[in-house]
Structure 1
Amino acid sequence: MKDEILIKKYLPMTETAYYILLALVTPRHGYGIMQHVTKITNQRVKLGAGTIYGSLSKMEKDQIIVPVEEEDRRKIYIISSQGEKLLELEMFRLQELLENGRKGRR
């Protein structure tokens, strides 16, 4: 899928998409993603199975994540180079928001 189309489709990114892509910097299966996100957000974000598997299916179709292997009927995914570009753009956007918020409070 072309970069411009992916950018329009995914940015600004939902919190769910952001954390899934962030979790997939390391290969993980769906349940592993749910556990990782819960841990790194101090249990603030708890992704449900329906949410995670629907998102993984969409992201795989859009080629921003790719399956790397299957283990005990669990598909293990990793972020693709296109997914990494989207994640970087979102991190830049979030950093800009934070910096502008700090400037506005001075």
Structure 2
Amino acid sequence: MARNDVLQTGELTDTYYYILLALVEARHGYLIMKTIEELTKGSFTVGPASMYTSIKKLLSAGMIEQLEEEKDKKTYIITEQGISLLKNDIKRREEMIQQAKTIFSQKGEDF
């Protein structure tokens, strides 16, 4: 399936996942990147070009919305549709982790 279809399938890329998670609270671009860096303790970062491309796609898909500009900063927040998508993706990721734990457990491996 084409990468452009991830918003329809609900299988979010890590970039979409973290942007949506960061936007549970309204944030502007730089603060989104900083929040992701803090959430992941630096293990995952989103650069400006990737972030703004993703924001454009998330806006177009109705997953986030832009609030009124404040001091020349565009501020975004997740929509109800985006929250639903994010929650479904979290459940999907939890199932994947549980499946992996089951496989390791069956092989006598600690996880």
* TM-score for the superposition, normalised by structure 1: 0.89
2:8 partner amino acid: I
Larger % of strand: which?
Answer: 1
Report sequence identity in percent. 36
1:7–1:86 contact (8 Å) kept in structure 2: no
Unaligned runs of 5+ in 2: 1-5, 106-111
2: CA distance between counterparts of 1:86 and 1:51? 20
List runs of 5+ in structure 1 lacking aligned partners: none
1:32 aligns with 2:18: no
Q: Map of 1:86-105 to 2, 5 A cutoff?
A: 86-105=85-104
Aligned length: 100
RCO greater where, 1 or 2, for CA within 8 Å and sep 6 or more?
1
1:57 paired residue number: 56
Q: What is the CA–CA distance in structure 2 between the aligned matches of 1:6 and 1:31, rounded to whole Å? A: 23
- Following the alignment from structure 1 to structure 2, what is the Cα–Cα distance between the partners of residues 62 and 7? 9
State the superposition RMSD in angstroms: 1.3
TM-score (structure 2 length as normaliser): 0.85
Larger Rg: 2
CA deviation after TM superposition for structure 1 residue 61, in Å = 1.1
The letter for the 1-side match of 2:72 is: R
Separation of aligned partners in 1, 2:99 and 2:57: 32
